[in-house]
Amino acid sequence: MMKTETSTAPAPAAFEPRITAFVCNWCTYAGADLAGTSRLQYASNMRIIKLPCTGRIDPLFVLKAFENGADAVLVSGCHPGDCHYTSGNYHARRRWTLFRKLLALTGIGDDRLFFSWVSAAEGQKFADLVNDVTAKVRKAGPFRAAHPGRRAS
């Protein structure tokens, strides 16, 4: 299904979320690339940071993104079993299960922190994911400047 616009109309105040995505080189980044070469349209609010593997993503990176102004963070990598480095994503998965609990307890929930598996062949999935996440974050609103995790300007 082709989309030419983001799936939800912007709020009257025209809040455009800034979303940071930490993705792995071999799967999700390639999937994003495929979305591009397939001319799939998707929301442009996401800034992608490429890493070799989701196993490289230190939870600290997620906090730095929020600190520096991200309204939401997406972490995406290879499906379990498909990791280019065999088990990097398994390590990551276990980490995220625990980390998201800590973030939820301290006020950063499922409306701001997203995880996915997107393979190199899933260009459409990537585009749909970005649109969906962006819509959700637009609805969630700006990451409150008063959240202790955000650097005061």
Binding site for another protein (CB under 8 A): 59-60, 63-64, 67-68, 80-81, 87, 90-91, 93-111, 114-117, 129, 144, 146-152
* Nearer to another protein among residue 25 and residue 91 (C-beta): 91
Dist CA 37 CA 62 (whole Å): 28
Question: Nearest approach, Cβ of 107 to another protein (angstroms)?
Answer: 3
Dist CA 127 CA 7 (whole Å): 11
Question: Nearest approach, Cβ of 116 to another protein (angstroms)?
Answer: 4
How would you class 37 by CB atoms within 10 Å of its CB: exposed for 0-12, middle for 13-18, buried for 19 or more?
exposed
How would you class 102 by CB atoms within 10 Å of its CB: exposed for 0-12, middle for 13-18, buried for 19 or more?
exposed
* CB contact at 8 A, 49 and 23: yes
Question: Nearest approach, Cβ of 84 to another protein (angstroms)?
Answer: 16
* Nearer to another protein among residue 2 and residue 152 (C-beta): 152
* Nearer to another protein among residue 41 and residue 97 (C-beta): 97
Cα separation of the two ends of the chain: 41
* Nearer to another protein among residue 9 and residue 148 (C-beta): 148
* CB contact at 8 A, 138 and 43: no
* Nearer to another protein among residue 9 and residue 110 (C-beta): 110
Question: Nearest approach, Cβ of 146 to another protein (angstroms)?
Answer: 6
Question: Nearest approach, Cβ of 41 to another protein (angstroms)?
Answer: 20
